Amino acid sequence: VNPSAPDPSLPIAVFDSGVGGLTVLHECLVSLPEEDYLYLGDDARFPYGAKSDAELRECSERNTRYLVDRGAKLIVIACNSAASAGLETAREIAAGSGVEVVAVIEPEAEIAAAITDSGRVGVLATRATVEGGAYLRALGRQHRELTVTQVAAPDLAAIIQRGFPFSESVVETVRSYCAPLRRAYVDTVILGCTHYPLVAPMLQRFLGRQVRLVTAGHALAATAQRLLESGGIAAPDTEEGSYRFLCTGNPASFRELGTRFLQLPLGDVELVDLRT
Amino acid sequence: VNPSAPDPSLPIAVFDSGVGGLTVLHECLVSLPEEDYLYLGDDARFPYGAKSDAELRECSERNTRYLVDRGAKLIVIACNSAASAGLETAREIAAGSGVEVVAVIEPEAEIAAAITDSGRVGVLATRATVEGGAYLRALGRQHRELTVTQVAAPDLAAIIQRGFPFSESVVETVRSYCAPLRRAYVDTVILGCTHYPLVAPMLQRFLGRQVRLVTAGHALAATAQRLLESGGIAAPDTEEGSYRFLCTGNPASFRELGTRFLQLPLGDVELVDLRT
């Protein structure tokens, strides 16, 4: 037992600028049901995708500091923008309390590199993520030669966020995004935006059944489990854990939209003020 | 090539008394995307669960005859009641045209027996299905000693059918159904009703991540694929296939409710008259 390790009975804290990260929490709730969770949706500053790197570092620092102070044994950054720009900052903040930080991007890249047979990997992500190249860099660090095909899906997250995603226009949009991935004969596709798991079956149909989809939630849940075990901070009992929600903007709309992303009831959403 | 085999370019036909079977179609669309599908919802006679065996044989015969006449290379019965009482009748009807019939129950039992490590298998199903014992019999035919724990979930299908299934009352209901399965230490659970995949993540959380869920859709898609390949009647090309819908009752409500179950748009729903 590491004497500086956090208390195993503390929750795992997850943050994002909105509801997208709830698909990550969803996977954690299913994969690690005995853990407690604390989710922070920084919806007063949604979307992070429109912010500068300096702003993102500031958001990541503030969120991490708040969650560590409130009590968390592990921080999960469930937002691509915050992960790209703010992971190092968050790690520095959390390290002072012996808390580790994991974030999207690297875990998906690790899993994709581990499971691809052909070495041809696709990345479907927002335009900002594709242009930022974070997945390309992460895949480049995987000690394996990979051929990566990136596809920017400019409308997909907004379509999913707007509402019920099973319309003909969504189908056509998703089909068009899948076409270049099919032509590249990828056998593994990283869903590089936390909104996309909500249309995973549709993507699977258009990509073909042999293509493996890697979601941030799945990858992060696996990484979190590994860290909890290696750090000796897994939940002390096997009872089902609890989960609760904080947001910085509008609890009512966060709750309504969030239920669809979590696929579980949210219960009360607490409004917190993180301006300081 | 079997000269009496059906034309490989014909669709796979799926029938049920309502929208539940759309979760089976969903799995087929994802697993076998290059096939064409024709789905018949006999919603004028919903629910099949309330019918006598004689009535169920009649429904199965009529549906099968209609679908074979309209052109189908494989019939899938995606309804427990029709499968229990009507499979043999349907097979006799379809055999005249060289068409095979597959149905829920047996494929799930095969997969569960194949994947359980401990031999302790759970079945979560409607009261009628549990009392009818079809899964017990199917599991008893699997040439392996299995300890089966059945749990009747009297409200679950109705709750799911009624609407958005992510409320606290659904959570409490699902949790209570999972408790006896947890106490029995099953490592595999058959979801013995086609509605249940819509709450699969919730079930996974309450049962624990180590428990494997077997859905009718997953099992039937695998069985259908095997039959298509062994019969040499798989779709002749690798393009994405089409799907279309027939119902006997109310196309508008079938379409609205069905979209949620299919997780894809239904398009037009054709009203057909099967009274003769």
Q: Test A263 with B201 for CB contact under 8 angstroms.
A: yes
Which of B28, B37, B173, B205 has the highest number of chain A CBs within 10 A, making it the mutation to test binding with A? B205
Interface check for B204 against chain A (CB to CB < 8 A): the answer is yes
Interface check for A255 against chain B (CB to CB < 8 A): the answer is no
What pLDDT was estimated at residue A168? Answer: 83
Name the residue of chain A whose CA is nearest to B182's CA. A239
A250, A271, A267, A246: which is closest to A21 by C-alpha? A246
What pLDDT was estimated at residue B227? Answer: 96
Provide the CB-side half-sphere exposure for A143 (13 A, CA).
3
- Give A166's contacts in chain B (Cβ within 8 Å): 259-260, 262-265
- Give A37's contacts in chain B (Cβ within 8 Å): none
pLDDT in tens, chain B (276 residues): 456 889 999 999 999 999 999 999 999 999 999 999 999 999 999 888 888 999 999 999 999 999 999 999 999 999 999 999 999 999 999 999 999 999 999 999 999 999 999 999 999 999 989 999 999 999 999 999 999 999 999 888 888 888 766 788 888 889 999 999 999 999 999 999 999 998 888 899 899 888 999 999 999 999 999 999 999 999 987 788 999 999 999 999 999 999 889 988 898 999 999 975
- Give B171's contacts in chain A (Cβ within 8 Å): 264-265
Active site residue B193: yes
What pLDDT was estimated at residue B3? Answer: 60
Pairs of residues, one from chain A and one from chain B, whose beta carbons lie less than 8 Å apart = 67
What pLDDT was estimated at residue A192? Answer: 95
The interface predicted TM-score of the complex, written ipTM, equals 0.80
pLDDT in tens, chain A (276 residues): 455 889 999 999 999 999 999 999 999 999 999 999 999 999 999 888 888 999 999 999 999 999 999 999 999 999 999 999 999 999 999 999 999 999 999 999 999 999 999 999 999 999 989 999 999 999 999 999 999 999 999 888 888 888 766 788 888 889 999 999 999 999 999 999 999 998 888 899 899 888 999 999 999 999 999 999 999 999 987 788 999 999 999 999 999 999 889 988 898 999 999 975
* Helical (H) or strand (E) element with A149: strand A147-152
Which of B29, B166, B206 lies closest to A265 in CB terms? B166
Which of B171, B205, B265 lies closest to A171 in CB terms? B265
Task: Write the pLDDT tens digit of every residue in A68-85.
Answer: 999 999 999 999 999 999
Interface check for B31 against chain A (CB to CB < 8 A): the answer is yes
Give the phi and the psi of residue A250 in degrees, each rounded to 5. Answer: -125, 100
Active site residue A178: no
Interface check for A31 against chain B (CB to CB < 8 A): the answer is yes
Instruction: State the average pLDDT for chain A.
Output: 93
Interface check for A168 against chain B (CB to CB < 8 A): the answer is yes
Count other Cβ atoms within 10 Å, centred on residue A231.
18
Burial class of residue A233 in the structure, from the number of CB atoms within 10 Å of its CB (0-12 exposed, 13-18 middle, 19+ buried): buried
Q: Test A205 with B240 for CB contact under 8 angstroms.
A: yes
Interface check for B267 against chain A (CB to CB < 8 A): the answer is yes
Q: Test A168 with B209 for CB contact under 8 angstroms.
A: no
B28, B201, B214, B222: which is closest to B115 by C-alpha? B214
Q: State whether residue A143 is helix, strand or coil.
A: coil
Interface check for B257 against chain A (CB to CB < 8 A): the answer is no
Closest Cα in chain B, distance from residue A59 (Å): 31
Q: Cis ω on the peptide bond leading into residue A47 (within 30° of 0)? A: yes
What pLDDT was estimated at residue A145? Answer: 95
What pLDDT was estimated at residue A209? Answer: 82
What pLDDT was estimated at residue A260? Answer: 85
Name the residue of chain B whose CA is nearest to A30's CA. B205
What pLDDT was estimated at residue A233? Answer: 96
Name the residue of chain A whose CA is nearest to B31's CA. A209
Which of B29, B166, B262 lies closest to A259 in CB terms? B166
What pLDDT was estimated at residue A2? Answer: 59
Distance CA(B210)–CA(B185), nearest Å, equals 10
Count other Cβ atoms within 10 Å, centred on residue B50.
11
Strand positions, DSSP E, chain B: 12-16, 37-41, 74-77, 100-103, 120-125, 147-152, 188-191, 212-215, 243-247, 269-271
Distance CA(B71)–CA(B9), nearest Å, equals 10
What pLDDT was estimated at residue A158? Answer: 86
Interface check for A218 against chain B (CB to CB < 8 A): the answer is no
Task: Write the pLDDT tens digit of every residue in A221-264.
Answer: 999 999 999 999 999 877 889 999 999 999 999 999 998 899 88
